[in-house]
Copies of this chain bind each other. A is one copy, B any other.
């Protein structure tokens, strides 16, 4: 077990990926000088260096790595040392051509890019453990190394593997899960379409087939894939722990890639770390950022985490890679910090001249130190340097939104009722309203203890186990407010429709029977009558039968015309809401206003575009305030702005585009967990 969860550096961690192997040695000293100028105190090294460390199988060359770690250490810059297992060397694939990953169509993945080998190939597992152990043994006691960074973004660019190694591991995994073929046949419903298995040897990976492949099989394959990737991580972590007690992490991709069940992964790492990149087409990328940050905090149980990668400006892999505007990098960084990050790192320190990511921005851009970007990097370093006391403070939330990777995997399979239904879209829609109201949100699984939350929202809980439904029903019975959006509680853990029909497991809390889904045609929009208002809604209607609920909105037109659209039930000491359609943003706001009233929630009184989050320290609170608007803003607050050192008496003024972090009196303990 690690001696200390947080790496041995002072204050907020600041830095980025550093790839000295791409540069001649004369550049290294320049790098270190500029890092010091920028206040960098932590860099990730060695993430793609396997071929240069293990130059052929079992032959190691540590000279350059020794030198650069030493140089960094002499200059007070700590190292987060990577295991380079996300990109095995050319010699590895030449020696083990069977260890290459294979896609659904049977295409064997070639070399010359990045991406792991078959996660089930014994040769890969052995080689990965060997390099991880060798690095750990060598650097465990090096004072410049403070943390281990295993692999890189598991599951990206390739997670699924249809190779023969995967096939073998898959059958073993299934045998362990199901014990008997009878259990597998029952869980997968193989009586449908004549898929019954009489021998384990006949069970295959869900490769390309003439039509849709058994969804329960594919759902299990998603679980298997996640499990195999995690097993790779665990094997490396355990190899490291044989030599080192430093904290071990691997960088997640919260809200960017859904292939890894981060709830399970977070239990395996010592510190959660996350990579986050704005989606350029989104003109309010700061909302997606907040989701990623809140999710990173939530999967780690609320503990401070590290933003392992983000970008100083544009990325390079999107269709149009929009550069960040002046001040945006600082706003992004502070938003992560406000939502629990105690480290702000970038990909990458110095822009690489060659390769696939040469157009990715960096702390030190192609234009060099005499540039807007580097000046802002230096400025951000100075800001963070003043925020050391925030470290360790905890974010409190009164609201939980359900986020369940397993449900995403199931919902994303083929042949669902409407391709216009998206879990990501619905989660964002609900989250966005709460974000604009400055009501802080945790994410949670439906089986979690939710009793600390005033409000729980299920925007897209397509797959819901009966036991988890029971948990939600109890939550309401005990006084909670629950909001469930359409296409939830549809199937069980095997993607089988619940006995009793769609939504049946939540009938206790919601008081509705969902008789039929009524998807709309492309582009059709409709109205629902809510109070005296007509709200716009599209994509989906349902035929609801109320068993014990009041209709709070009714369909005005469309296939549901005349039937209930939004319902509310008092259940025990709590309240269950059901929204059977997709209201637009204004409509959702109107409905949530009433939900807030049930839950006892009050939006923060703040100007539009002002993002406010509060972290609770040992004795004080720290209020992070970010002005995304193009006009100056005011907020009622008392305390000291740590960024400027100024006292805030009654009113904080934040210029357009600016940020503030105010040490404020400790609020009464929130009702969040």
Contacts from A to B (Cβ < 8 Å): 19, 21-22, 48-52, 55-56, 84, 86-91, 93-94, 101, 105-116, 157-158, 188-199, 201-217, 280-281, 283, 313-314, 316-317, 319-323, 325, 351-359, 361, 365-368, 371-373, 414-420, 491, 494-497, 499-502, 513-522, 543, 559
Contact = CB atoms under 8 A, between A and B. Distances in A.
B519 A322 contact: yes
A356 B211 contact: yes
Contact of A91 (B193, B199, B207, B522): B199
Contacts of A367: 501-502, 513-516
Contacts of A206: 110, 112
Contacts of A209: 109-113, 115
Contacts of A497: 351, 353-354, 358, 366
Contact of A189 (B195, B321, B354): B354
A415 B320 CA distance: 9
A190 B19 CA distance: 12
B356 A321 contact: no
B521 A283 contact: yes
Nearest first, the 10 closest Cβ-Cβ pairs linking A and B are A189-B354, A115-B210, A192-B355, A113-B209, A87-B194, A90-B202, A51-B196, A157-B211, A158-B210, A48-B194
A317 B19 contact: no
21 contacts: A48-B193, A49-B194, A50-B194, A87-B194, A88-B194, A89-B196, A106-B107, A106-B108, A113-B209, A114-B194, A114-B211, A188-B354, A193-B356, A320-B519, A320-B521, A321-B417, A322-B559, A323-B519, A361-B516, A366-B501, A371-B515
B197 A90 contact: yes
A324 to B, nearest CB: 10
B516 A113 contact: no
Nearest to A214: B112
Contacts of A210: 101, 109, 113-116, 157-158
A355 B193 contact: yes
A314 to B, nearest CB: 7
A626 to B, nearest CB: 20
Contacts of A51: 190, 194-198
Nearest to A325: B559
A50 B191 CA distance: 10
A647 to B, nearest CB: 35
Contact of A319 (B116, B361, B419, B499): B419
A209 B417 CA distance: 34
Contacts of A93: 202
Contacts of A501: 365-368
Given A87-B193, A281-B521, A325-B559, 5 more contacts: A51-B194, A52-B191, A110-B213, A280-B521, A365-B516
A87 B22 CA distance: 46
B217 A112 contact: yes
A92 B316 CA distance: 45
Contact of A418 (B106, B193, B319, B358): B319
Contacts of A213: 110, 112-113, 356
Contacts of A356: 192-193, 211-215, 414-415
Contacts of A418: 319-321
B194 A281 contact: no
Contacts of A520: 320, 322
A329 to B, nearest CB: 12
Nearest to A368: B501
Contacts of A21: 191
Nearest to A53: B194
Contacts of A89: 194, 196, 198
Contacts of A106: 107-108
Contacts of A207: 110, 112
Contacts of A201: 94
A175 to B, nearest CB: 16
A325 B417 CA distance: 16
A365 B517 CA distance: 11
B355 A208 contact: no
A359 B194 contact: no
B372 A515 contact: yes
A208 B56 contact: no
A189 B22 contact: yes
Nearest to A156: B211
Contacts of A215: 355-356
Contact of A195 (B90, B214, B319, B559): B90
Contact of A212 (B109, B113, B314, B522): B113
Nearest to A114: B193
Contacts of A323: 516-519, 543, 559
A196 B90 contact: yes
A90 to B, nearest CB: 4
A193 B420 CA distance: 37
A86 to B, nearest CB: 8
A284 to B, nearest CB: 12
A353 B499 contact: yes
Contact of A113 (B52, B196, B211): B211
A371 B517 CA distance: 13
Nearest to A190: B51
A518 to B, nearest CB: 5
A157 to B, nearest CB: 4
A499 B52 CA distance: 24
A522 B321 CA distance: 11
Contacts of A203: 90
A192 B352 contact: yes
A49 B356 CA distance: 44
